[in-house]
Amino acid sequence: MRLLVLGGTRWLGREVVSAALTAGDEVVCLARGTAATVPEGARLVVADRTAGTSAYDGLDGRFDAVIDLATHPGHVRGAVAALADRCERYLYVSSGSVYADTSRAGATVDAETLPPLAADTMGSLEEYGSAKVACEQAVLATFGAGRSLVARAGLIGGPGDASGRTTYWPWRFAHPASADGTVLVPDVPGLMTQVVDARDLATWLVESARLGRTGTVNATGDTVPLEEHLRTAREVAGHDGPLAAVPPAWLEEREVQPWAGPRSLPLWLPLPEYAGFGDRDASGARGLGLVPRPLAETLADGLAWQESVGAPAGAGLTDEEERSFLAELP
């Protein structure tokens, strides 16, 4: 297969390129190459997609498929216009953030989405979901449902997760901040998580490009209660110290953030508002062959990667924060 990857210089994009090269495909990437380049064996065409349709002038020949990782609607609008007659199929990596309602568990792809962003450029992260909706619509308007796959990815995890959302817990259990090994965890019964390993998502996208799979699906991992996710993280880290489980109200009083970022407990989300965020219906993706590896493998490999680069930067609690919160508990 001759594959065009719009992106390919960062995390998921590099995994996609590697998966395609492993399968023996010819891979051309288009990106600015600002932070990094593409894996060896792929060709990078340097271009800035803010230029519109002319950004694709440096590409030669036809492609069997394009896999697009963009978020700014203008990037996708330009690409579909420039590539409609040169690419057979368009695979777009969208997000579960497109949905209007984060509270409904088990929602299917038919659930209502946010209004599409009219602007070509996403101004801030608050517009992320709407920007992804606009990108999806641009793909479908030009390539149609018969020539496109829209993969609404759930939380992506594993080695390379610079956000620390899927590596903080195994890392924290491997490196408790307290002398007796106690780890502070959120007590949120009923909250679900859905982590899709970047490597599984990448392999599946490439396979889907080859097989001409079409449709709109929630490309998520298995649905796992947060308690079980934390138990798995403990197991892979070999943690057998005590747990200090605290309710959301206790964390909110101390301005500990949910989900991600500094001074947070990653993966914790407020209920009932976010009951559906990690509990989407993934039957469409399973039907199209997305097979997630066991969560333990994603967390173990993520931990090994985190050990190789050092403590998660800007994710979770620092050792000092963890110790000071634990000191408040009886």
Ligand X SMILES: NC(=O)c1ccc[n+]([C@@H]2O[C@H](COP(=O)([O-])OP(=O)(O)OC[C@H]3O[C@@H](n4cnc5c(N)ncnc54)[C@H](OP(=O)(O)O)[C@@H]3O)[C@@H](O)[C@H]2O)c1
Query: Site map for ligand X, 63-102, x if CB under 6 A?
Result: ------xxx---------------------x-x-------
**Residue 312 engages ligand X in binding (rule: CB under 6 A):** no
Residue 310 gets the label, from left (phi > 0), alpha (psi -120 to 50) or beta, of left
Of residues 67 and 237, the one with the C-beta less far from ligand X: 67
Q: Which residues, in sequence order, are bridge partners of residue 113?
A: 99
Per CB under 6 A, which region of 29-37, 205-213, 248-256, 269-277 contacts ligand X?
A: 29-37
Minimum Å gap between C-beta 210 and ligand X is 20
Q: Out of 1, 33, 52, 210, which residue is the one contacting ligand X (CB under 6 A)?
A: 33
* Euclidean distance between CA atoms 266 and 257, whole angstroms: 8
* Euclidean distance between CA atoms 306 and 208, whole angstroms: 30
**Residue 54 engages ligand X in binding (rule: CB under 6 A):** no
**Residue 13 engages ligand X in binding (rule: CB under 6 A):** yes
Of residues 10 and 86, the one with the C-beta less far from ligand X: 10
* Euclidean distance between CA atoms 20 and 17, whole angstroms: 5
**Residue 31 engages ligand X in binding (rule: CB under 6 A):** yes
Q: Out of 22, 41, 43, 50, which residue is the one contacting ligand X (CB under 6 A)?
A: 50
**Residue 3 engages ligand X in binding (rule: CB under 6 A):** no
**Residue 49 engages ligand X in binding (rule: CB under 6 A):** yes
Minimum Å gap between C-beta 324 and ligand X is 29
Minimum Å gap between C-beta 179 and ligand X is 34
Token pair of 252, please? 């909110």
* Euclidean distance between CA atoms 91 and 207, whole angstroms: 11
Count the residues of the shown chain that bind ligand X, applying the rule CB under 6 A. 24
Instruction: Write the DSSP symbol of residue 97.
Output: G
Its sign, for the CA torsion 176, 182, 184, 190, is positive
* Euclidean distance between CA atoms 219 and 159, whole angstroms: 18
Rounded to the nearest 10 degrees, how much is the dihedral formed by the CA atoms of 286, 290, 291, 296?
-110
CA end-to-end span of the chain, whole Å? 61
Contact 275, 216 (CB under 8 A): no
Residue 240, number of CB atoms within 10 A of its CB: 9
* Euclidean distance between CA atoms 30 and 126, whole angstroms: 27
**Residue 121 engages ligand X in binding (rule: CB under 6 A):** no
Q: Out of 3, 4, 83, 155, which residue is the one contacting ligand X (CB under 6 A)?
A: 155
Instruction: Tell me the C-alpha to C-alpha distance, in Å, between residue 140 and each of 13, 195, 330.
Output: 21, 26, 57
**Residue 153 engages ligand X in binding (rule: CB under 6 A):** yes
**Residue 57 engages ligand X in binding (rule: CB under 6 A):** no
Of residues 6 and 326, the one with the C-beta less far from ligand X: 6
Minimum Å gap between C-beta 151 and ligand X is 9
Q: Out of 1, 3, 4, 8, which residue is the one contacting ligand X (CB under 6 A)?
A: 8
| Residues engaged in binding ligand X (CB under 6 A) | 7-13, 31-35, 47-50, 69-71, 93, 95, 153, 155-156
